[in-house]
């Protein structure tokens, strides 16, 4: 894969950093909304002053996170893409984000565009209709108190990427002796202050074209109805092996592709942003507006994650050879539980993605159908995961307006369809799913590493400590940069408990371990430090 491909892989990983925080904040908002629903907690709780103050506090905290998402994404992009000195990159990203918007502000002011001249009343005074005035005024916003274009998360990503490119180029720079103090990492914030305002100036002239193109794409998807939803979900699943599904998800969640609404001269951009705004501001958005946003969110995943994939796990267990059933049962049970409760599916998906394209295509099509049918049935369940937690918090506790029972009805269909289809394809094509693969002895290096524990086995499987250049992780994948891909030993990694391995580029490998990957990554890093000391 090209260097550009590596960059996109790393960017997708970096953008997952703030998503985990936002998903958790969304759960708290969902619980707060449930505690304000008299049908759930009764009228007494609604009038309990202490409880309402707690709920108000939760909304304030979550609202602050959502309001500053662009800044969080700028920091995440810089930290995730920085080669070294990540704290410096984070600081520079904050500086870059601010100064980029200062550059945009300077350009807008020079063009006579100010908060006063871009207000709804000012546009209506120029002869615009009220709808046109509201839409035009919504193109502008105050970002950290700076009047700028409403660039949402995309503006933060641009600031983070430009900043980290400067960081990676200059964090080791050596200056002449007289000014050597300002060299190295200290030079990064300095060059950021110089370059990012200029980027902001340039961006101010091309942003209207970018925004217009994104809005038109969003309108096209919106006008496509359930068909557009189907193709979004189908594409998202097909991209799973590449890791690029994160890019598609964030585009829908935080850009006009996922929808845009205007409230009190403020633009709420992206499906997840709209849903979270509705949670934080009860009654300010109509249910049909929120429902249009949630068609891209958790509701389409629930029949697949809670019912379909656990059924697939059962089929894989039943089809395993007798001597392997106990091992496969433990593996599939862990994957099915993760999928059912949290919506984390990759440990299960990678047990069949590469061994049977037919199973993978079937799974992708069924996911697309789940999203499309959930939309047609009027389901309104948001957030990002799609497991039991989201179903309970944003579905059942959300009340009758969420139409959560349709998710259960679809699930009741998806379970037998997945089970019998998986069973039929596995047996008919002799697919090498877990427990049906040919038995091979592990290589000597893998067996030697096993004696030193799972972490040592992982390091051996990655080609040894000298072959490992960087270690990181996302929700389910250990992401490693290696010097020589030929030294990677997949049997050793499989023996360490990996459910799948992706050679993303010539130097990037992703090893799927599931929700426990964070502790695995930490153990590998600590082991490498011990070996180096």
Q: Assign 301 to helix, strand or coil.
A: coil
The tally of CA atoms less than 13 A away on the side-chain side of residue 343 is: 21
Q: Is residue 317 flagged as an active site residue?
A: no
Q: Name the burial class of residue 122, with classes exposed (0-12), middle (13-18) and buried (19+) by CB atoms within 10 angstroms of its CB.
A: middle
Catalytic residue among 317, 319, 473, 474: 474
Q: Name the burial class of residue 28, with classes exposed (0-12), middle (13-18) and buried (19+) by CB atoms within 10 angstroms of its CB.
A: middle
The tally of CA atoms less than 13 A away on the side-chain side of residue 323 is: 4
Q: Name the burial class of residue 2, with classes exposed (0-12), middle (13-18) and buried (19+) by CB atoms within 10 angstroms of its CB.
A: exposed
Cα distance between residue 463 and residue 46, in whole Å? 60
Identify any residues that bridge with 477 across adjacent strands, giving them in sequence order: 512
**Rg from Cα positions in the chain:** 25
Any idea what the Cα angle at residue 87 is, between residues 83 and 90, rounded to 5°? 90
The answer to whether 402 and 394 are in contact (CB under 8 A) is yes
144: left (phi over 0), alpha (psi -120 to 50) or beta: left
- What are the catalytic residues? 474
């Amino acid at each position: 894969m090209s260097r550009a491909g590596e960059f996109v892989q790393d960017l997708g990983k970096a953008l997952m950093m703030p998503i985990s925080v936002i998903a958790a904040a969304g759960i708290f908002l969902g619980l707060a909304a449930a505690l304000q629903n008299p049908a759930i907690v009764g009228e007494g709780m609604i009038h309990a002053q202490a409880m309402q103050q707690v709920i108000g506090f939760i909304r304030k905290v979550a609202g602050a996170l959502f309001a500053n998402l662009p800044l969080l994404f700028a920091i995440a992009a810089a930290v995730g893409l920085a080669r070294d000195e990540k704290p410096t990159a984070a600081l520079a990203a904050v500086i870059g984000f601010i100064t980029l918007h200062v550059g945009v502000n300077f350009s807008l002011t020079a063009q006579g565009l100010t908060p006063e001249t871009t207000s709804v009343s000012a546009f209506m005074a120029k002869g615009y209709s009220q709808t046109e005035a509201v839409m035009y005024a919504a193109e502008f916003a105050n970002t950290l108190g700076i009047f700028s274009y409403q660039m949402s998360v995309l503006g933060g990503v641009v600031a983070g990427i430009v900043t980290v490119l400067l960081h990676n180029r200059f964090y080791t720079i050596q200056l002449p002796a007289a000014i050597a103090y300002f060299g190295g990492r200290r030079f990064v914030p300095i060059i950021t202050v110089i370059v990012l305002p200029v980027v902001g100036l340039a961006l101010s002239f091309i942003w209207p074209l970018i925004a217009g193109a994104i809005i038109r794409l969003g309108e096209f998807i919106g006008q496509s109805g359930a068909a557009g939803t189907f193709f979004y979900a189908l594409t998202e699943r097909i991209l799973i092996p590449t890791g690029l599904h994160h890019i598609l998800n964030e585009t829908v969640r935080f850009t006009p592709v996922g929808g845009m609404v205007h409230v009190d001269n403020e633009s709420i951009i992206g499906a997840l942003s709209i849903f979270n705004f509705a949670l934080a501001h009860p009654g300010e958005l109509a249910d049909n507006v929120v429902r249009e946003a949630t068609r891209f969110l958790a509701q389409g995943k629930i029949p697949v994650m809670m019912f379909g994939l656990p059924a697939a796990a059962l089929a894989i267990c039943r089809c395993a050879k007798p001597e392997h059933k106990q091992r496969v049962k433990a593996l599939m049970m862990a994957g099915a539980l993760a999928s059912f409760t949290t919506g984390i599916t990759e440990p299960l998906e990678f047990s069949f993605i590469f061994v049977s394209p037919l199973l993978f295509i079937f799974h992708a099509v069924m996911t697309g159908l789940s999203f499309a049918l959930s939309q047609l049935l009027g389901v309104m369940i948001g957030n990002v995961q799609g497991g039991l937690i989201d179903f309970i918090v944003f579905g059942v506790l959300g009340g009758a307006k969420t139409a959560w029972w349709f998710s259960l009805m679809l699930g009741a269909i998806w379970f037998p369809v997945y089970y019998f289809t998986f069973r039929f394809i596995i047996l008919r094509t002799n697919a090498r799913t877990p427990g049906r693969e040919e038995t091979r002895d592990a290589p000597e290096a893998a067996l030697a590493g096993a004696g030193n524990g799972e972490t040592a086995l992982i390091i051996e499987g990655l080609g040894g400590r000298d072959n490992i250049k960087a270690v990181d992780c996302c929700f389910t994948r250990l992401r490693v940069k290696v010097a020589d891909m030929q030294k990677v030993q997949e049997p050793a990694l499989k023996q360490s408990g990996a459910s799948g391995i992706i050679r993303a580029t010539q130097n990037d490998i992703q090893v799927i371990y599931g929700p426990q990957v964070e502790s695995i990554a930490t153990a590998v890093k600590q082991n490498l430090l011990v070996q180096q000391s």
